[in-house]
Structure 1
Amino acid sequence: MRISGLLTIFAILLFLSGCQSTEQAQVDLKPVFLDTAFSGYQAVPVESEQEIFALDSDAKVFVNNLTVAKNMVHAKNRNKVMESLIRAIFNRSDFNMIYDNGANTTASETFNNRAANCLSLSIMTYALAKQAGFDVRFQEIDIPEYWTRKDGYSLINGHINLRISDVSDTSMILLENRTMVVDFDPFSPKKYFPSTEVNKQRVVSMFYNNKGAEALVNGDHLTAYSYLKAAVQADIMFQDAWTNLGILYRMAGHHDWAEKTYEEALKLNQDNLTIWENLAILHEHQGRYELAKNIQEFVTQKRLRNPYYHFILGEQELETGNFREALAHYKKAISIDESHHEFYFGMAKAHANLGNSKQAMKYLKRAKRNTQIDDLKDRYQHKMDLFAKL
């Protein structure tokens, strides 16, 4: 079963059409909660904000050892503390941190598990940097719609990063080297996307939304409802949480409630194509085929210049065994933007399924060349080694 436009965050979710200010105009949103349809959801344990950002004793010792070793009294040494902290997190040999898309964990869990996605890494880094006495701000990145595939679902992803400073009043920052931007982007985009500072409540909502989306993919509607309701309550202006809640209602058969939820979500951003697409899917389930068709045509025309739109079409064709059609979509994605390793890996998979080992090897090399993530480089190299033995 496939849900087009299901949201998650992995790195941190966000699918805004334009750079949205934290000072956006307030709209009259009416929460659409259906507690009676998810009886017992209150028994699902949902982490509090404090639990999400809390550090255990080992994590605090880790930070304190760094600050003592670098003598944090002087400003110049404070910069060294900041750099050492970030280096320790990024450096696999020192911290053994492994990137895992599905690891939606709290700061302490991430520190101890040493496997996390971008959102969890950002939450942990925020907590560690605050423990070291730095000022830390979350920034939401305005990226084009980007999808990944998981268990037959289309998951749309957003992104955040961190700005770490040695002063609490960022207006006083005069020297560039006193501020660091920390970004755990697993795909290393080579183009600049604007960012907007967001508050801690938005990140809490993202965390809940991620957990809710994962539960939805796993078919656990009770857990999904518990987390998605918490996500909306944590930040009523976070559109992604509204959208996932609508998807849950649709999957659970509550079509009228799903429609109401999408309508509320669109008040925040009328240009959100993911919501419009999910509304089209809902109308199909309601038997309103002409309306669904019109909406889908509108969405498709808007997406034609998005390389990830063609990429996800390629992934879908690949799943159904239409390998030549998949190649055409991957080629289109590359013609729009040739910087993303996933597009080349798609080409490699399609060629491999067609028995074109030489072409598959060629595109695996290009995929490896277009990523800066060591784990991904290792995976691509492993696949190339396997092909070389054939």
Structure 2
Amino acid sequence: MQKIRIISLLIMIAGLAGCALQPSVTASLPPQEFSKEHLLSGAVILGHPVTDVDLPNIDILGVNSEMRSFLASVDGGSDSDHFDALVKSLQSKNFSIFYDADATLDASEVFEEQRGNCMAFRAFMVAMARGLGLEIKFNQVFIPETRYFEGQHTFVYQHINVIADLGSEQRVLDFNFVDYNPVYRQKTLEDVDAFARFYSNLAMDFLSQRNIAQAFLYLRKALSLSPDTADLWNNLGAIYRSAGHADQAIDAYGVSLALDSNNMIALSNLEGALRNRGDFALADILFKRIQRYREQNPYYWYGIALAAYKQEHFELAVEGAKDAISLERGDHRFHFLLGMARLKVGDNGYRNSFRQALTLSAANEDQKRYRRKLDTLGLGDIKPVLPAGRVRRSESIRPWTWWWYL
């Protein structure tokens, strides 16, 4: 799981499903004032058009001599044995990666510093597994959208893990199963697309530090690798907007929507940029479209409920969680959050909410996490109710837990 931070609005989210904008909305967007070439040149930010020489070039999956020496000690016969031996060897040698949200490091840096964020961890494991000759790829899991709001920051979560093809079976390597579920749609990513996300993460880190020039160069590198990814154009719009170039930002959001008319984050960013520019009529049209989507999106209300809970507005958290459940009853996270909020406000319905969460999470690792939490609350007696034949399991993909210290 990955938390992408940006000032005010942002970004970097897997494409959303279940929402289609009417043609009249996209057709009414303002005409492009600037060409793609102009937007990609960065001349108004850097003072000169960017060239390939200006762009960063990181050996993301590079393996150094110490890593090769480590891999030489990993014994195994089959690919499956090699994979098992790699994970167990790292664990047995007390090689622990400490989570650092701001450390988007390449594989060799992760090995040397034993820290990194989610993207860094994935790059490290891909590099190590490939160093043993194993077939392993980055894997995107299309989880429902969940936003977290903190002050002027918006957090949007997406999920990418790594998946190893070991002949007779596949293994998912992941350190956090909060949002991993084999029933979610998945798609393996080509390296170039994963690398684009890597550079985009770095761009967003620079943007949060107000280093606009570096943010642009790293995002420009991402777009050179994956030029038709709507989320990257959305990020480019945020960079232009932060730099005070509203017109370029609006055009970048327009490119994002031309590539993916369902990208509600880009639409929300565009609505805000248009409103700030004084284009109130069009901004109002887009705002109504966004509100209609949000009202029908259970994960929007879930995000609202989470934010309310964190800010200790527990009554609002109860209402938000109930709104989410009214639209989607099958997500265990909604029920567990409702149970926690109900417990805080003294609503006796918390036991039923926890029971529902345990029942719905029976097919994955979340139930264990919920049980541990309930044990700490002195509620270990709450048990799931499992209707016969209702639990879906996937035996073809075996997930690995990971040793990840917060």
- TM class by shorter chain equals 0.7 to 0.9
259 and 94 in structure 1: CA distance in 2 versus 1, 3 angstrom threshold: same
Which amino acid in structure 2 is aligned with residue 107 of structure 1?
A: A
State the partner residue of 1:122.
122
The alignment status of 1:161 with 2:168, answered yes or no, reads no
State the partner residue of 1:105.
105
Pick the aligned partner of 2:247 from 247, 256, 270.
256
1:125 to partner: Cα distance: 1.0
1:242 to partner: Cα distance: 1.0
1:275 to partner: Cα distance: 1.0
State the partner residue of 1:388.
none
Structure 2 alignment gaps of length 5 or more = 19-34, 379-406
- Distance in 1 separating the partners of 2:69 and 2:367: 28
Which amino acid in structure 1 is aligned with residue 229 of structure 2?
A: F
> Could you give the per-residue CA deviations for residues 128-180 of structure 1, whole angstroms, max 9, x where no partner exists?
011111122223233332323456411223222333235xxxxxxxx523x43
Provide TM-score, normalisation by structure 1.
Answer: 0.73
- Distance in 1 separating the partners of 2:196 and 2:182: 27
CA contact (8 A) 1:7 1:240 kept: yes
CA contact (8 A) 1:107 1:123 kept: yes
- SS of the residue corresponding to residue 267 of structure 1 reads helix
1:312 to partner: Cα distance: 2.2
> Could you give the per-residue CA deviations for residues 281-330 of structure 1, whole angstroms, max 9, x where no partner exists?
11111122232222122123223343321122234545777542233113
1:299-378 equivalences in 2 (<5 Å)? 299-317=290-308, 322-335=313-326, 336-337=328-329, 339=331, 341=333, 344=336, 348=340, 372=365
CA contact (8 A) 1:189 1:339 kept: no
In the alignment of these two chains, the number of paired residues is: 351
- SS of the residue corresponding to residue 105 of structure 2 reads coil
CA contact (8 A) 1:307 1:334 kept: yes
CA contact (8 A) 2:7 2:208 kept: no
Pick the aligned partner of 2:221 from 230, 235, 238.
230
- SS of the residue corresponding to residue 145 of structure 1 reads coil
1:90-239 equivalences in 2 (<5 Å)? 91=91, 94-149=94-149, 152-165=152-165, 175-177=167-169, 179-190=170-181, 192-239=183-230
57 and 92 in structure 1: CA distance in 2 versus 1, 3 angstrom threshold: same
State the partner residue of 2:10.
6
1:88 to partner: Cα distance: 4.8
State the partner residue of 2:398.
none
- Distance in 1 separating the partners of 2:292 and 2:146: 16
State the partner residue of 2:21.
none
The alignment status of 1:242 with 2:250, answered yes or no, reads no
State the partner residue of 2:73.
65
1:240 to partner: Cα distance: 1.5
- Distance in 1 separating the partners of 2:317 and 2:130: 46
The alignment status of 1:269 with 2:260, answered yes or no, reads yes
Provide TM-score, normalisation by structure 2.
Answer: 0.71
1:44-83 equivalences in 2 (<5 Å)? 48-50=57-59, 52-66=60-74, 69-70=75-76, 72=77, 77-83=78-84
135 and 212 in structure 1: CA distance in 2 versus 1, 3 angstrom threshold: same
State the partner residue of 2:23.
none
CA contact (8 A) 2:332 2:356 kept: no
1:256 to partner: Cα distance: 0.6
CA contact (8 A) 1:188 1:372 kept: no
- Distance in 1 separating the partners of 2:109 and 2:151: 25
Which amino acid in structure 2 is aligned with residue 163 of structure 1?
A: I
Which amino acid in structure 2 is aligned with residue 82 of structure 1?
A: F
> Could you give the per-residue CA deviations for residues 100-141 of structure 1, whole angstroms, max 9, x where no partner exists?
544322112222333333322211111001111112222323
- Distance in 1 separating the partners of 2:339 and 2:165: 42
Which amino acid in structure 1 is aligned with residue 168 of structure 2?
A: E
Bigger mean CA deviation after superposition, 55-64 or 313-322: 313-322
Pick the aligned partner of 1:32 from 33, 39, 43.
39
- SS of the residue corresponding to residue 259 of structure 2 reads coil
- SS of the residue corresponding to residue 187 of structure 2 reads strand
> Could you give the per-residue CA deviations for residues 22-50 of structure 1, whole angstroms, max 9, x where no partner exists?
xxxxxx965613333245998x9975242
CA contact (8 A) 2:233 2:253 kept: yes
1:4 to partner: Cα distance: 6.0
CA contact (8 A) 1:315 1:326 kept: yes
- SS of the residue corresponding to residue 32 of structure 1 reads helix
- Distance in 1 separating the partners of 2:336 and 2:6: 24
> Could you give the per-residue CA deviations for residues 227-278 of structure 1, whole angstroms, max 9, x where no partner exists?
2222112211222111011012122221110111111112211111111111
- Distance in 2 separating the partners of 1:98 and 1:128: 17
- Distance in 2 separating the partners of 1:345 and 1:273: 25
Structure 1 alignment gaps of length 5 or more = 19-27, 167-174, 386-390
- Distance in 2 separating the partners of 1:92 and 1:362: 41
- Distance in 2 separating the partners of 1:368 and 1:318: 20
State the partner residue of 2:403.
none
CA contact (8 A) 1:361 1:384 kept: no
